[in-house]
Structure 1
Amino acid sequence: MFGLDNAQVLNYNSMMQGAVGALTTAMFLLYAFTDYSKWVSERLNCLGAMVALLIFHLLTFSWPFLTGDMPGCAKYVAGNGSSHGWDWCESLRPINFWLYYIGYALIFGIGLPCLNNSLQSLYSQILGKGRQGTMQGINQAAGCISRILGPLLMSTTFSSYGPRATWMIEIGLISVCLFIWCSTYRRLKPAAPVV
């Protein structure tokens, strides 16, 4: 995507994932040792994280009006030495290197931990004292299914249509989640105690 060789890609991605890991650890420590969830509501935390995810995807989308060409995109050389060509490469436009890598580390190192922690906590509060085990199991099963099907869908989509299509799917899914979240925002409250 940025005209980097294999060693550079490995180096930059390793640094980015290291930053994500450090930020995620910091967020978990913040949750564990402070009253963070008292300062920011769980609902607002989830909303903010989803908005941040949407903004990241919109800012790092390869918009057609961007200038430049993708260096080395037309021919991809696989590990076994064979080369592949992608039709979608010709219309792909480069995005800002620093915006992508810094944005990725911040969003996935801060935004996703906030979303995961707050969403699980809020889900448990909304369920109240009922069938917590069953409902948490269904929630976990849905997450597992998405982690199985997501990579299959996205890798196939990427191979056929390129990164724009995968980004559009992500933007669409985040937008749908934001719409549902905003539509039900007032109802996302802890369950009333059973008398």
Structure 2
Amino acid sequence: MIGILDYGVGNIRSIDNIIRKVGGSTILVKDLADLKNVQKLILPGVGHFASAMKELKSRNGDGLIREYVKEGKPLLGICLGMQLLFDRSEEGDAEGLGIISGEVKKFNLPPKLKVPHVGFNRVNFKSSKLMDEESVSNNKFYFTHSYFCVPTDAQNILGTTNYGIEFTSAVQTGNVYGVQFHPEKSHVFGMKLMKAFWEMK
């Protein structure tokens, strides 16, 4: 069973749909009691970093996530959910969960490149449990974001993408993963990634 953290921020229905399409099952997680039957957890997120952290803390979601991570079970942060894993963001000058060391910065790009970065783009993946060999070298994922993550430790970088600069688009530390793109909007490659997360041991 995959738990989807429900804290009022994120494309919960779309994520639920794609997991079911790849043969998985889900449950909405609102408190610690909901984690009893959860083997994996997804932290979704769209919108403003500081506002999302405020919502998360108001529901004790930050404590829930930290307790879950201590158990060593797989967690996947999606889009803003990936950014929340970091120490701090320039968006609202707010503190994050501090699970991955580093910060979240706003794109500062030439005028010819629009911000936010919206549309399909390639991810240069390292081999991992999230990506099969074919998708490591041949993929396209859907992005929509104005901020990007800068890990302190390069070993936490699982994938990078080029949009004016090369930025971190996927991260990993232990069993904690994060992706800046939206798998639920990325068609076949998003389905492959979510299937790999569902089947992860």
State which structure, 1 or 2, has the greater radius of gyration over its C-alpha atoms.
1
Q: What TM-score results when the alignment is normalised by the length of structure 2? A: 0.22
Larger relative strand fraction: 2
Q: What TM-score results when the alignment is normalised by the length of structure 1? A: 0.22
Specify which structure has the bigger relative contact order, considering alpha-carbon pairs within 8 angstroms and separated by 6 or more residues: 1
Larger relative helix fraction: 1
